[in-house]
């Protein structure tokens, strides 16, 4: 046998873990040859009829797969098919196809191909991760339509042998849903995005996945033996025995670490000096609530409701929202779920709710401002949450609060919704707790006044860092300026913690910073006693909490707050970590 050459290539970790197996390089998007010819005027109507028939056939097929998947993998995965079906019926798709048949006299196969190209290019031009991913969904739909037009079934996902690492240019959600989890142990994708549906699904399945691995389908050949290092973001192709041994050890360590963490599930989240630290979960869909409950999260400190809205092709009704929130809160009861009202605008856009163009959307109409400008959207959501509060412990959290006026206007909307519900004879908890996100510089400065208006505060460091440091959180150009350890950020956090203590109001940190164990000691030292984190990170943070002595944490925070540069802060944390290890 020819000796294989050992090689290493790099990518971005999309779903963490280590996978080892045999490569299967495949093309998930069938580049089928599309027949192209000019049609006669008399054939136009018939071609459009063929399009409508293909839509129905594709929808029927998708429903079949959706039902199969729903039975196997649960509602959340099947829900993505609903989004695809909605896209299939998007009026702009039919309009574009019809126009191409009528005016350019293209046969329907070519018209569909052109329409999908035009629409997905328009999505891609928006240069927004959400729409880039919808462009991939559209191409998936284009494939399905071509299959229906040619009366062929979609190319079946090959029966991968056990221990396969799938290597592909682009991964479609419909493909990952059909993968046999037992056989495929890891995925490598040349393109992809951190918030792409396919990535979300890989993460939910705990399947290690690397994205943005340049030229993976050329560098890797079917049959190559791969190590997918979804921790460091690299792939070893036909690794040497020495590297193999390194990974034997790493995998054993990871396994031991995982088992050790699971032992913490029933242990209390307390510091070495026995101070309880509340660890709640950030969730965005039902499956997250299941994971949160399985690691004993102290409720949900942040339920991002955007996911529900993003997965639809129109605003969900009050009843739909009630059902979704109910299913989620039911899984975590009797622990509280803080339901954040819709936080859209800037980088989170709904395809069915176009917003006016703004030069600086993150400084524009978003979060609570947007809801106050569209009271009908806010009212439906508030009614659903209030009705739920009659039977389950839920609270309402307002995003992107910029001042007392906004908060009072939002509270007035709650009062109006309560009055209307009372008049209709509907039950709700009149004492429902209300919270404000602290994620703008104004909210930091006014934290004391905001605290007088609400029952709890929740610090969204993701946005707070962006606004304090005037650094777009989605930009890779200025990524090095986006630094949670910037002294201005730490000083803002310390001041909110101090205000909350003085006003005796609970405050949590719910941005990504809270889920990083390297920051846990500092956050406790700054005065925080509640952290809200992704459920998958909760045990790691509990482990950190249980190793921390609060007195040492206080000292660390004091030391850090006296420093003036990011480098000094990092150095100080590094030293404290090595003291802890020694």
Catalytically active residues, by annotation: 197, 510
List, in sequence order, every residue forming a beta bridge with 22; answer none if it has no partner: 164, 225
Q: Which does 510 bind (CB under 5 to 8 A by kind): Mg ion, ligand PEP, none?
A: ligand PEP
- Residue of this chain nearest to ligand PEP (CB atom): 460
Contact letters (x/-) for ligand PEP, 330-369, by CB under 6 A?
Answer: -------------x--------------------------
The residue count for binding Mg ion (CB under 5 A) is 3
77 binds Mg ion (CB under 5 A): no
Residue 74 has which token pair? 């649960």
Which of 118, 272, 291, 462 is in the footprint of ligand PEP by CB under 6 A? 462
Q: Which does 113 bind (CB under 5 to 8 A by kind): Mg ion, ligand PEP, none?
A: none
State the helix-helix crossing angle for 286-294 and 318-332, rounded to 10 degrees: 10
Q: Which does 515 bind (CB under 5 to 8 A by kind): ligand PEP, Mg ion, none?
A: none
Contact 14, 194 (CB under 8 A): yes
461 binds ligand PEP (CB under 6 A): yes
Q: Which of 462, 454, 532 is nearest to 499 (CA)?
A: 454
288 binds ligand PEP (CB under 6 A): no
**Nearest distance in Å: CB 187, ligand PEP:** 26
**Nearest distance in Å: CB 346, ligand PEP:** 9
User: Which residue has 């994205």 as its token pair?
Assistant: 211
Stretch that binds ligand PEP, among 50-58, 150-158, 456-464, 538-546 (CB under 6 A): 456-464
Stretch that binds ligand PEP, among 191-199, 326-334, 387-395, 459-467 (CB under 6 A): 459-467
- Residue list 129-148, contact with ligand PEP (CB under 6 A): none
If DSSP codes are grouped into helix, strand and coil, which group holds residue 168? strand
Residue 474 has which token pair? 């989605």
List, in sequence order, every residue forming a beta bridge with 337; answer none if it has no partner: 300, 394
In the complex with ligand PEP, which residue's Cβ is closer, 387 or 486?
Answer: 486
CA 543 to chain centre: 24
Q: Which of 86, 90, 93, 68 is nearest to 78 (CA)?
A: 68
State the helix-helix crossing angle for 108-125 and 129-149, rounded to 10 degrees: 170
Contact 167, 22 (CB under 8 A): no
Prior bond of 89 cis (ω within 30°): no
In the complex with ligand PEP, which residue's Cβ is closer, 304 or 529?
Answer: 304
In the complex with ligand PEP, which residue's Cβ is closer, 168 or 461?
Answer: 461
- Residue list 7-36, contact with ligand PEP (CB under 6 A): none
Which of 83, 213, 436, 510 is in the footprint of ligand PEP by CB under 6 A? 510
Contacts of 445 (CB under 8 A, 6+ apart): none
In the complex with Mg ion, which residue's Cβ is closer, 237 or 344?
Answer: 344
**Nearest distance in Å: CB 510, Mg ion:** 9
- Residue list 5-24, contact with Mg ion (CB under 5 A): none
Contact letters (x/-) for ligand PEP, 541-560, by CB under 6 A?
Answer: --------------------
In the complex with Mg ion, which residue's Cβ is closer, 201 or 337?
Answer: 337
Residue 523 has which token pair? 């956050």
**Sign (positive or negative) of CA dihedral 191, 194, 199, 205:** positive
540 binds ligand PEP (CB under 6 A): no
State the helix-helix crossing angle for 538-547 and 241-262, rounded to 10 degrees: 80
- Residue list 406-465, contact with Mg ion (CB under 5 A): 439, 460, 463
In the complex with ligand PEP, which residue's Cβ is closer, 11 or 515?
Answer: 515
Which of 286, 511, 525, 535 is in the footprint of ligand PEP by CB under 6 A? 511
| Cα angle 23, 27, 29; round to 5 | 150
In the complex with ligand PEP, which residue's Cβ is closer, 435 or 511?
Answer: 511
The residue count for binding ligand PEP (CB under 6 A) is 10
State the helix-helix crossing angle for 461-468 and 487-503, rounded to 10 degrees: 130
Strand ranges (E), 119-249:
164-168, 184-189, 209-211, 225-230, 234-237
- Residue list 463-502, contact with ligand PEP (CB under 6 A): 463
439 binds ligand PEP (CB under 6 A): yes
Contact 199, 175 (CB under 8 A): no
Count of CB atoms situated within 10 Å of the CB of 430: 10
Q: Which of 23, 8, 28 is nearest to 163 (CA)?
A: 23
Stretch that binds ligand PEP, among 136-144, 220-228, 286-294, 454-462 (CB under 6 A): 454-462
Q: Which does 190 bind (CB under 5 to 8 A by kind): Mg ion, ligand PEP, none?
A: none
Which of 192, 299, 460, 525 is in the footprint of ligand PEP by CB under 6 A? 460
SS (H, E, C) 191-225: CCCCCCHHHHHHHHHCCCEEECCCCHHHHCCCCCE
In the complex with ligand PEP, which residue's Cβ is closer, 113 or 532?
Answer: 532
**Nearest distance in Å: CB 283, Mg ion:** 15
**Nearest distance in Å: CB 509, ligand PEP:** 8
In the complex with ligand PEP, which residue's Cβ is closer, 108 or 459?
Answer: 459
Contact 527, 503 (CB under 8 A): no
CA 278 to chain centre: 23
Rounded Cα gap, residues 115 and 98, in angstroms: 9
| Cα angle 176, 177, 182; round to 5 | 80
**Nearest distance in Å: CB 331, Mg ion:** 24
**Interface contacts to ligand PEP, rule CB under 6 A:** 302, 304, 343, 439, 460-463, 510-511
Residues at the interface with Mg ion (CB under 5 A): 439, 460, 463
């Amino acid at each position: 046998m020819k000796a294989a050459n050992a090689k290493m290539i790099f990518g971005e970790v999309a779903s963490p873990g280590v996978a080892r197996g045999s490569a299967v390089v495949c093309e998930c998007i069938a580049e089928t040859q599309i027949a192209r010819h000019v049609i006669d005027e008399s054939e136009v109507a018939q071609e459009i009829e063929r399009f409508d028939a293909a839509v129905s056939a594709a929808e029927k097929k998708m429903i079949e797969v959706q039902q199969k998947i729903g039975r196997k993998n649960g509602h959340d995965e099947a829900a993505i098919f609903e989004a695809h079906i909605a896209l299939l019926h998007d009026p702009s798709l039919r309009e574009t196809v019809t126009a191409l048949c009528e005016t350019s006299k293209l046969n329907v196969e070519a018209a569909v191909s052109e329409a999908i190209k035009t629409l997905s290019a328009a999505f891609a031009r928006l240069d927004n991760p959400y729409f880039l991913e919808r462009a991939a969904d559209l191409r998936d739909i284009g494939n399905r339509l071509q299959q229906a037009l040619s009366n062929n079934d979609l190319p079946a996902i090959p029966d991968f042998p056990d221990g396969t690492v799938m290597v592909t240019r682009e991964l479609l959600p419909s493909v990952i849903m059909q993968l046999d989890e037992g056989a495929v142990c890891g995925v490598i994708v040349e393109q992809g995005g951190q918030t792409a549906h396919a990535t979300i699904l890989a993460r939910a399945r705990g399947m290690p996945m690397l994205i943005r691995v340049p030229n993976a389908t050329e560098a890797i050949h079917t049959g190559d033996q791969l190590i997918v290092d979804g921790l460091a973001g690299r792939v070893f192709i036909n690794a040497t025995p020495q590297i193999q041994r390194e990974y034997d050890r790493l995998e054993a360590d990871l396994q031991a670490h995982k088992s050790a963490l699971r032992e913490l599930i029933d242990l209390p989240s307390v510091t070495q000096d026995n101070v309880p630290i509340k660890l709640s979960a950030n969730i965005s869909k039902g499956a997250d609530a299941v994971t949160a409950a399985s690691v004993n999260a102290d409720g949900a400190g942040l339920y991002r409701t955007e996911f529900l809205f993003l997965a639809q092709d129109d605003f969900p009704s009050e009843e739909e929202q009630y059902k979704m929130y109910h299913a989620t809160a039911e899984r975590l009861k009797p622990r509280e779920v803080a339901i954040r009202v819709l936080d859209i605008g800037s980088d989170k856009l709904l395809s069915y709710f176009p917003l006016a163009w703004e030069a600086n959307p993150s400084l524009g109409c978003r979060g609570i401002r947007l809801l106050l400008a569209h009271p009908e959207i806010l009212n439906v959501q508030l009614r659903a949450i209030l009705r739920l509060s009659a039977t389950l412990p839920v609270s309402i959290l307002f995003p992107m609060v910029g001042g007392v006026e906004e908060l009072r206007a939002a509270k007035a909307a709650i009062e109006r919704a309560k009055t209307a519900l009372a008049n209709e004879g509907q039950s709700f908890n009149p004492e429902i707790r209300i919270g404000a996100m602290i994620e703008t510089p104004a909210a930091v400065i006014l934290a004391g006044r905001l605290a007088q208006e609400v029952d709890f505060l929740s610090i969204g460091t993701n946005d707070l860092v962006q606004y304090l440091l005037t650094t777009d959180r989605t930009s890779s150009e200025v990524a090095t300026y986006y630094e949670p350890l910037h002294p201005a950020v730490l000083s803002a956090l310390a001041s909110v913690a101090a205000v909350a203590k003085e006003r005796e109001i609970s405050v949590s940190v719910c941005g990504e910073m809270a889920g990083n164990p390297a920051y846990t000691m500092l956050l406790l030292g700054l005065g925080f006693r509640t952290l809200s984190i992704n459920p998958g990170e909760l045990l790691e943070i509990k482990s950190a909490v249980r190793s921390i002595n609060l007195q040492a944490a206080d000292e660390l925070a004091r030391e850090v707050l006296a420093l003036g540069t990011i480098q000094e802060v990092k150095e100080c944390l590094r030293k404290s970590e090595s003291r802890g290890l020694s």
